[in-house]
Structure 1
Amino acid sequence: MIEIRSRWARRSSWADTAVQARLRRLNLITVMPPLVLVGLLLVVFTAHTWWQVVLQVVGLLATVATAERWTAGDFIRVARPCLVLTAFVWLGGALADNGSAFYGLAMVGSFLIPPMLRHRLAALVGLAVLIGLLGATNLLVYHDHLGHRLVTYVLYPAVGAAVSTVFMFASQKFYDLVAELEQSREKEAELAVVRERARFASELHDIQGHTLHVVKLKVALAEKLLPTDPGRAQEELREVHALVGDTIVQTKELAYAKRRLNLSAELENAKNLFEAAGIHVRVDRFAEVDSEMGELLGQVLRETTTNILRHAEARQVRIMLTGTGISIVNDGASDDGAPALSGLSALGSRLADQGGELTVERRDGRFVTAAVFGEDAR
């Protein structure tokens, strides 16, 4: 049990993350319906008295409780008492001549064995033996058709427990693989954001690094010229002043995504960033736009790309470019609160000044960011 706890402690460490929430939904969808359906069918077709119905319903409820906690990654404290409870249910079923009451014990046991790090085979054999021994108590009460009862209460339940545990092994491997893929996707998205920050830092260095180096040289030259040629020194200082002012403007343009951009390069950059983050991206380029509109649309695309990588849980992104605008649609939008323009608000004002319009809206779990120019803006 210590080994089980250590394994599931790592899994439950994701409890408040989006990855764990998605895995929990996946587990609930794939595990719960067949589990409940089989249990209800057994109650309907094999329970012939109210006592047998009660036994099977109690075992089914214990199974559902264990499965629900299993999907949350924290089921040991629930599974232990449920294992004991379903063992008594099976014992009562065997004594009451109900051959389907083993279902709860087999299911709860199958949830417990796969997460164990060692001695899984021994645990599986132990579960099968326990189910067989409890079922064999039926032979102490009923002495007719011993061969049939041996198969019904010992062989079938033991084999059923083994088969269900094997299926849970396969399910566990599948869910572990999905968890690894989800974690990998998150890491890729974080890496994409880091790359974007590095690109921003590189552009900032290109702007300010060159300027500071030139300023240093010109100030040193002006200092040397000041005693012998004050006029030339003043000219050098005026150039320094103009250079610093131009650098301030360029830095503001970079900070607010107002630098001149190449739309084709931004499309390729966005595609590479999304693919690196494990997001499927589709680019539909229906027409070309002029350079002035292309610059603003490139800025909208860059800012939207950053927002998707940082704030959404997107799996798919579609970029559509027409002769008058661009539209970026992504899934993974949260349902709480109205969408905010955030960094796009400044671009919205610039687009409006050029006869365009920027909209951000949520539609059925998707974000739609669109920038459109009127025909006269072309």
Structure 2
Amino acid sequence: MTSSSPAFTKTTQSRLRRLNLVMSLPPVVFASVVLLAVDVHTWWHLIVLAPGAVAALVAFERWTADDLARVARPCLIVAAVVWPLGVLLTGSPNAYWGFCAVGSLALRQVPRRRALAAAGIFAYVATVGATRLLVQQDDVRGVLISYVLVPTALTIAVTVLTVVGERFYDLIRELDHAREREAELAVIRERVRFASDLHDIQGHTLHVVKLKIALAQKLVLRDAEQAEKELRETYALVSDTITQTKELAYAQRRLNLSAEIENAKNLFEAAGIRVRVTREAEVGPRNSELLGQVLRETTTNILRHAQATQVQITLSESGIAIVNDGVRGDALPELKGLSVLRQRVAGEGGELTVEQQDGRFLTAASFPPFRADVPSGGQRKDDR
């Protein structure tokens, strides 16, 4: 469960699909029904005109699923046939609707010369509409208005709106990809900080060890006692470095909770996630370090594994709670970092809770009242 590009993009497209269906499909269905009701005067009119409306609905539904390429050509052919049949056989000035809808959507499938393809659609609608003059020569003005000008103008309008809509959804996709990249950068910055801490621990130590060993080599024959002292100090220094490295690897180095809260807030905001920090009380140094580790690990998990849009961090007298949305799936994910921290929190007499429900994820670490380092009744403060 990661925020890698394929899964992330797939979920975004699914949201856009639902948005398109909810916002646009009902008007399209309503328009198709109304136009059929206006133009159908007998049963065989329905047989002639219905395929055009069905082609428009199928094309639109597949467009919302980003799968229009598979059905664009057959839908366009069906709708293109219905328009002249409607003009010449049923006298239906609205039979262009299917071709108008499918054609405007299918333009996205044209890789080059899209403007020329759009001009072809408009010309086809106008030319076919003008053929009505073959069967209705007594009302040239009415034919030109009802079968040529109105259908062509509406086809142009629908095409323009469709192109604008496509640009809008392209912008949403670009913003979503930008948010994904920000989240990945936040994780990378966290890794860089870890590497910097590791360098601080080992870089200086290794340099000192090198100097002490070189000194011991010079003293081993002249001053064995001093050489032995240097080696003892080197051994102690290496042992201390090993301990610090283990602590760093398991996020056990001393942390400042306030600094971790500010860092988490900055990381979330950089990733486009709204964050709210509520301080109900201040936590003393005995528990703050461990709570800082919980917050750091949870922040990394949210950035890497969730599609959060908002995060709530609540700091209380007994512990910390972090709630985020954007959880995918119903199964509780396996988060090894939190599993290690659960053992440490339990070892200190506390409890680490991880829950997932209704698309929200809760991570909370708490300690019994007698473990609290700050008296109750702290002043409540919100940081936004």
Task: Mark yes or no: TM-score above 0.5.
Answer: yes
The code of the aligned residue for 1:60 comes to: A
Aligned partners of 1:194, 1:161: CA distance in 2, in Å?
49
Q: Which runs of 4+ in 1 moved over 6 A?
A: 13-16
The question of whether the paired residues in 2 share the 8 Å contact of 1:341 and 1:360 is answered with: no
Q: Out of 131, 139, 145, which is 2:125 matched to?
A: 131
Distance in 2 between residues matched to 1:329 and 1:164, nearest whole Å:
44
Tell me the equivalent position of 1:347: 341
**Partner of residue 70 from structure 1, selected from 59, 63, 66:** 63
- The letter of the residue matching 2:74 is P
- Equivalent position to 2:23, from 27, 30, 33: 30
Quote how far apart the aligned CAs of 1:78 are.
2.0
Distance 2:18 2:353 in 1: 32
- Indicate the residue corresponding to 1:9 in structure 2: none
Q: How far apart are 1:36 and its partner, in Å?
A: 2.2
What is the aligned counterpart of 2:255 among 261, 267, 270?
261
| Equivalent pair of 1:354/1:377 in contact (CA under 8 Å) | no
Structure 2 matches for 1:76-95, cutoff 5 A? 76-94=69-87, 95=89
Deviation at residue 276 of structure 1 after TM alignment: 1.2
Q: Counterpart in 2 of 1:110?
A: 104
For residue 296 of structure 1, what is the aligned residue in structure 2? Answer: 290
Q: Which runs of 5+ in 1 are unaligned?
A: 1-12
CA contact (8 A) 2:356 2:362 kept: yes
Check the 8 A contact 1:66/1:108 in 2, yes or no.
Answer: yes
For residues 112 and 311 of structure 1, the distance between their equivalents in structure 2, rounded to whole angstroms, comes to 36
Render the CA deviation track for 1:112-143: whole Å, top value 9, x for unaligned. Answer: 33565764444333222211222233332345
Q: CA deviation at 1:74?
A: 4.2
Q: Structure 1 residues 359 and 52, CA, compared in 2 at 3 Å: closer, same or farther?
A: farther
The alpha-carbon distance between structure 1 residues 290 and 255, as it changes in their structure 2 partners (threshold 3 A), is same
Q: Deviations over 1:311-358 (max 9, x none)?
A: 111121111111111111111111142233421111111211222111
Mapping of residues 309-320 of structure 1, within 5 Å: 309-320=303-314
| Selected match of 2:145 from 141, 145, 151 | 151
Q: Which residue of 2 aligns with 1:371?
A: 365
**Greater shift in the superposed pair: 258-267 or 317-326:** 317-326
Against the structure 1 CA distance between its residues 298 and 135, is the aligned structure 2 distance closer, same or farther, given a 3 Å change threshold? Answer: same
CA distance in 1 between counterparts of 2:316 and 2:122 reads 65
Distance change (3 Å), C-alpha of 1:16 and 1:120? closer
RMSD: 2.2
Residue 42 (structure 1) aligned with residue 35 (structure 2): yes
Amino acid at match of 1:282: R
Q: Is residue 203 of structure 1 aligned with residue 203 of structure 2? A: no
- Could you give the per-residue CA deviations for residues 135-179 of structure 1, whole angstroms, max 9, x where no partner exists? 233332345544333322222111110110111121011111111
Which has the higher mean CA deviation after the structures are superposed, 168-177 or 296-305? 168-177
Deviates more, 1:21-30 or 1:106-115: 21-30
Identify which range, 145-154 or 244-253, moves more after superposition. Answer: 145-154
TM-score of the pair, normalised by structure 2: 0.88
Q: Does 1:283 align with 2:277?
A: yes
User: Helix, strand or coil: the match of 1:129?
Assistant: helix
What are the within-5 Å matches in structure 2 for residues 225-240 of structure 1? 225-240=219-234
1:7 maps to none
Check 1:85–1:99 CA distance in 2 against 1; reply closer, same or farther (3 A cut).
same
Residue segments in structure 2 that go unaligned for 5+ positions in a row = 1-5, 373-384
| Equivalent pairs, count | 366
Paired-residue identity, %: 55
Q: Which moved more, 1:137-146 or 1:167-176?
A: 137-146
Q: Under a length normalisation based on structure 1, what TM-score does the superposition of the two structures give?
A: 0.90
Mapped partners of 1:302, 1:373: distance in 2: 18
Q: Distance in 2 between matches of 1:361 and 1:152?
A: 62
SS of residue in 1 equivalent to 2:197: helix
Q: Is the 8 A contact 1:339 1:361 kept in 2?
A: no
Contact 1:358 1:369 in 2 (8 A): yes
Contact 2:325 2:359 in 1 (8 A): yes
* CA apart distance, 1:256: 0.8
Contact 1:63–1:82 under 8 Å retained in 2? yes
- How far apart are the structure 1 equivalents of 2:197 and 2:173? 36
Residues 330, 356 of structure 2: 8 Å contact kept: no
Q: Offset at 1:310?
A: 0.9
Q: Is the 8 A contact 2:20 2:64 kept in 1?
A: yes
Distance 1:317 1:57, change over 3 A: farther
Whole-Å separation in 2 of the counterparts to 1:375 and 1:337: 32
Pairing 1:174-185 to 2, within 5 Å after superposition: 174-185=168-179
SS at match of 2:355: strand
In structure 1, the partner of 2:375 is none
